[in-house]
Amino acid sequence: MGQQQGANVKLVCQSETTFGQVPGTSDPLYITFVSESIRQSRNLVSSKSIRQDRNPNMPVRGNLDVAGDLTFELAWAHGRILRHALGNYTAVSGSSMFTHTMSIGTSLPIGLTIEKQFADLATAQYFQYSGLKVNSLKMAFSPEGFIECTASFMGKKETVAASSAFTLPTDLGHQPWDGVSIVIQEGAGTPTTLAVCSKIDFSLENNLDGSSYVIDSTSQRHSIPAGTAKVSGNLTALFEDVVLYNKAVNYTESQIVITLTRGTGAGTTGNEKLTITIPELVYKPQAPVTPGPQGVVVDLPFEAYYDNASQATALQMVLLCNRSYF
């Protein structure tokens, strides 16, 4: 065996019952991904002592930092990542399907362990990252191609093992949504289809506190508290009228609903649906400009909040699929 091939790397994830401890094998899932940068690093702290010559002293060890990104093409099988990004979670069974409702909670889930499996090596190695929490989640929607997502993690520790922590992970496959499956609705109250939307992106920031180090000889984070969430994004529309722009100028509350559908969207196998609702938002006034002879568009940055929406959250995701639990 030679160099590990990226195409053969497997990622397995499992929700934790104790923060920072690699969980048992109750429900491990494989994760499809485009790229990842999750790893542990440690600072070296340089000495300031003067030693009677210009040579430097040996540095000392700093704190351990576990962090990195997971980039993926959004599919229903990424429900566990979405759950850990938002916090509040319920699952209700239906007829051959389940409704998973996720929203911004008062706290995030206990933690997530992700294991990277490097099986091409002469002696397989398994890098386990525990105590992971989602610091931010970014989604980008366009008329063509995949829905590109990036989850940024912050965690507690890295463990390198000669065997996997998980037995027989479940492979949910990869059935991603694409630009053709997207419907964008906009407007307060009962939103209507926004036929002139050319792209939209948004991010959820959990504002994790990564500074909770204590004097315990581990150099690891003791906890990772979540801060106030922030939901913001940008909507780009063909400039055909000033309706959206006037909403921005007049500081008018609006709503965005993004619906992704496979098949009928009933939630049975092959008919999965994800509905993303940003119930309360305001646009930032930003007049359209003319960069050249092409068609003019209007870019409207927005920021979401929770005031009195029936969803009781600034961001809600409802996933219909044939799986009971994420």
pLDDT tens column, 181-227: 999 999 999 999 999 999 999 999 999 999 999 999 999 999 999 99
User: Tokens 């305001």 identify what position?
Assistant: 282
Which string of b and e fits 12-26 if b means at least 16 CB within 10 Å?
Answer: bbbbbeebbbbbeee
CA distance 154 to 131: 8
pLDDT at 95: 87
pLDDT digits (tens, 9 = 90+) for 234-284: 999 999 999 999 999 999 999 999 999 999 999 999 999 999 999 999 999
Residue 52 in any domain: the answer is no
pLDDT at 24: 80
User: Which residue range(s) make up the domain with 245?
Assistant: 6-43+57-321
Residue 83 in any domain: the answer is yes
Total domain count, the chain: 1
Residue 162 in any domain: the answer is yes
Residue 267 in any domain: the answer is yes
Which pair of structure tokens corresponds to residue 123? 């002696």
Phi/psi of residue 171, nearest 5 degrees: -100, 110
pLDDT greater than 90 at residue 26: no
Which pair of structure tokens corresponds to residue 160? 């390198």
CA distance 25 to 20: 15
Distances (CA, A) of 255 to 91, 238, 268, 279: 25, 18, 28, 5
Residue 49 in any domain: the answer is no
Residue 279 in any domain: the answer is yes
Give the residues across from 236 on adjacent strands.
Answer: 199, 299
Residue 326 in any domain: the answer is no
Residue 217 in any domain: the answer is yes
pLDDT digits (tens, 9 = 90+) for 104-131: 989 999 999 999 999 999 999 999 999 9
pTM, full prediction:
0.95
The three-state secondary structure class of 248 is: helix
